[in-house]
Structure 1
């Protein structure tokens, strides 16, 4: 991707009208650099819960749940390095700052690789209500060379800034799930996979995942289970 295309993409990000359109534009832009997954989050300090600081994520769902439940954010070399560095860096560079955590860090990175997060780049960003934050991007074979860091940095900083302007306005105070989102979440609550739900409802599994993602965004949830819990509490779905 040349400089003109990067600037055009950044301009589109800066003018996105909704969180959904902003996320879709960002996903398309970073895909050019080999990134298929990302998370935008603040880094928790003492007394803060990691899941409360996540602004957006497209991580594999099982990995997201596992990462949160194991509190990996406190030992993740990339997360630790993002609280120290001021400039974007490749994941492999995180070891420079976290040698004393090599055993725990190595295990986390190996587990991430097993779910497709083989390599990546981290962009430190300011996040409201957190001392520091980052966008961590990954993929099977992403571009992590020095010449790729600057355009990814420009796109990510623009995305993070616009996201934080939009996010509080776009998430309604009262849940407004669509009928299909309620239906899909009901089946998720029953333990059905996206493929199983697609067969039950006669729609594609990608459409099922889209409805789940919509419900998660509306409920401000990090995981599917959290979305189900919030929908149950709000009496949007029956237990």
Structure 2
């Protein structure tokens, strides 16, 4: 896949308007490199369950069930490497890094191979509500040479970014939809700013600020500004 084609595919991913279209485009793109499976997930911290952090997957169901039931995430060399590396790496590199972990990690990789996931590449990504995340791609005989890593990184980062935007939109409660100015004002309220301070920052009158706050409170069904901020955060109308 040449540079022009990589950029063309990345542009298609960035403009996908549905989850189905996005996943289809990504699968077609990575198939060019011999990858037939992928998973997009956050990596669990204390008190978090791995299966609750999975954003999207095209992964063998039997392997996924086995992996979760055995809690392999704690000993998986690829997951362990994803927690500390910020650039793409091959599964083989993860195996070498985890050599000190002993036979447990080797067994996981052998079992993955038996499930059709013989080799792969992992691209670390940021995932909301997780300390780290990754897209792990796998196949029977994928292309994992150095010249494939750059294109896979571009495609995977674009895919992950668009995926999370579409997931956020899908989860957003219908009927809330604050205006851009209401979101902006609530963001400053969340920072502890008064209406007067916000008016100076945004270059509008404090009465206009209060009007936007009142509108946000009405749409969120709130009786206080603090409650409006909390509900807007929960609905992902504003960022935390």
Using the size of structure 1 for normalisation, the TM-score is 0.71
Q: Which residue pairs with 2:89 in the alignment?
A: 89
Gaps of 5+ in 1: 175-239
> Which string of whole-angstrom CA distances, capped at 9 and with x for unpartnered residues, describes residues 146-179 of structure 1?
11000000000000000000013235879xxxxx
Distance (Å, rounded) in 2 between the aligned partners of 1:143 and 1:71: 29
Measure how far apart 1:98 and its partner are.
Answer: 1.7
Give matches, 1:195-206, under 5 Å: none
Distance (Å, rounded) in 1 between the aligned partners of 2:95 and 2:116: 20
The answer on whether the counterparts of 1:19 and 1:170 sit within 8 Å (CA) in structure 2 is no
Distance (Å, rounded) in 1 between the aligned partners of 2:90 and 2:62: 24
Q: Which residue pairs with 2:101 in the alignment?
A: 101
Give the secondary structure class of the aligned counterpart of 1:28. helix
Matched, 1:163 2:163: yes
Aligned residues: 174
Distance (Å, rounded) in 2 between the aligned partners of 1:156 and 1:30: 9
Comparing 88-97 with 138-147, greater Cα deviation is found at 88-97
Structure 2 CA distance for partners of 1:84 and 1:104, relative to 1, 3 Å: same
Q: Which residue pairs with 1:37 in the alignment?
A: 37
Q: Which residue pairs with 1:7 in the alignment?
A: 7
Matched, 1:62 2:62: yes
Distance (Å, rounded) in 1 between the aligned partners of 2:140 and 2:173: 37
Measure how far apart 1:41 and its partner are.
Answer: 0.2
Measure how far apart 1:94 and its partner are.
Answer: 0.5
The answer on whether the counterparts of 2:95 and 2:106 sit within 8 Å (CA) in structure 1 is no
> Which string of whole-angstrom CA distances, capped at 9 and with x for unpartnered residues, describes residues 62-83 of structure 1?
0011111111111100010011
Using the size of structure 2 for normalisation, the TM-score is 0.70
Distance (Å, rounded) in 1 between the aligned partners of 2:29 and 2:171: 24
Distance (Å, rounded) in 1 between the aligned partners of 2:131 and 2:170: 24
Cα RMSD over matched residues?
1.4
Segments of 4+ in structure 1 off by > 6 A? Answer: none
Matched, 1:17 2:17: yes
Distance (Å, rounded) in 2 between the aligned partners of 1:173 and 1:117: 37
Q: Which residue pairs with 1:116 in the alignment?
A: 116
Measure how far apart 1:140 and its partner are.
Answer: 0.6
Report the structure number with the largest CA radius of gyration. 2
Distance (Å, rounded) in 2 between the aligned partners of 1:93 and 1:4: 29
Q: Which residue pairs with 1:74 in the alignment?
A: 74
> Which string of whole-angstrom CA distances, capped at 9 and with x for unpartnered residues, describes residues 45-91 of structure 1?
11000011000001111001111111111110001001111110110
